[in-house]
């Protein structure tokens, strides 16, 4: 048995957006005490990750590192001109699986869930599938 939830997020050009509260609230509202939550990003120029939740410099540094590792290059031939965003998305994750215990997703003390935008501004969707044990 599972529950599927759809969310919409308006993004800027590039950034990491904290969706931890939406995930936690959705798990709690589902009433599922034990199971798993799948967070899924259906876009080829965006991603979802788990990362640091207390120092915003970590997110800024991640974006800087990704820009340095995967810059926009004149050699790219993709017609939309956003190959750098596709590459970033490909090396990041399009899904995260979390354990639900006691009605809440398990995250470490310093962890949060981020939606990663690499090619905005856009109106993006992400999904949460909650599966009961």
Given a cut of 80, whether residue 98 has pLDDT beyond it is: yes
How many beta carbons lie within 10 A of that of residue 17, not counting itself? 19
Q: How would residue 80 be classed by pLDDT, with cut points 50, 70 and 90? A: confident
| pLDDT more than 70, % of the chain | 99
Question: What mean pLDDT, rounded, does the chain reach?
Answer: 95
pLDDT at 73: 84
| Res. 8 pLDDT band, cuts 50 70 90 | very high
> Mean of the pLDDT values across residues 93-100?
97
Mean pLDDT (whole number) for 89-108: 97
Q: What is the mean pLDDT of residues 33-44?
A: 98
Closest CA to 3 of 132, 129, 133: 129
pLDDT at 51 over 90: yes
Output the CA torsion sign for 75, 79, 82, 84.
Answer: negative
The CATH code of domain 2-132 reads 2.60.120.460
**Average of per-residue pLDDT across 42-46:** 97
Q: Where are the domains of the chain?
A: 2-132
Q: Residues 105, 30: contact at Cβ < 8 Å?
A: no
Q: How far apart are CA 50 and CA 35, in angstroms?
A: 19
């Amino acid at each position: 048995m599972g529950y599927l939830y759809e969310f919409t997020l308006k993004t800027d050009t590039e950034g990491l957006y904290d969706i931890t509260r939406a995930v936690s609230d959705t798990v709690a509202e589902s009433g599922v005490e034990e199971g798993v939550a799948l967070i899924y990003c259906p876009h080829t120029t965006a991603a979802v990750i788990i990362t640091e939740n207390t120092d915003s410099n970590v997110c800024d540094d991640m974006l800087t590192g990704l820009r340095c590792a995967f810059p926009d290059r004149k050699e790219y031939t993709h017609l939309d001109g956003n190959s750098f965003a596709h590459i970033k998305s490909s090396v990041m994750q399009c899904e995260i699986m979390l354990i639900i215990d006691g009605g809440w997703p398990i995250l470490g003390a310093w962890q949060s869930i981020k939606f990663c935008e690499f090619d905005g501004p856009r109106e993006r969707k992400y999904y949460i599938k909650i599966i009961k044990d």
